[in-house]
Copies of this chain bind each other. A is one copy, B any other.
Amino acid sequence: MADDTLKPVAQRHERVRRQHNDELAEDYVEAIHGLLEENEQARVTDLQGIFGVSHVSVIRALDRLEARGLLERSRKEGIRLSAEGQQMAQESARRHELVVKFLRVLGVSNTRAEADAEGIEHHLSEETLRAMRRLIRQRERG
Give the complex CA separation of A108 and B128 in angstroms.
Answer: 6
Chain B residues, Cβ within 8 Å of A19: 119
Known contacts A6-B52, A106-B131, then 5 further A-B pairs from the complex at CB < 8 Å, ordered by chain A residue: A12-B115, A116-B125, A118-B123, A119-B122, A119-B123
Q: Is A66 an interface residue (CB 8 A)?
A: no
Q: Is the CB of A107 within 8 A of B134?
A: yes
Q: What 0/1 readout, one digit per residue, does chain A (102-132) give for beta carbons within 8 Å of chain B?
A: 0100111100111110111011110110011
Closest 7 CB pairs of A and B: A119-B123, A10-B52, A120-B120, A106-B131, A16-B119, A112-B127, A120-B123
Query: Given B6, B106, B128, which contacts A128 in the complex, CB threshold below 8 Å?
Result: B106
Chain B residues, Cβ within 8 Å of A103: 128, 131
Chain B residues, Cβ within 8 Å of A20: 20
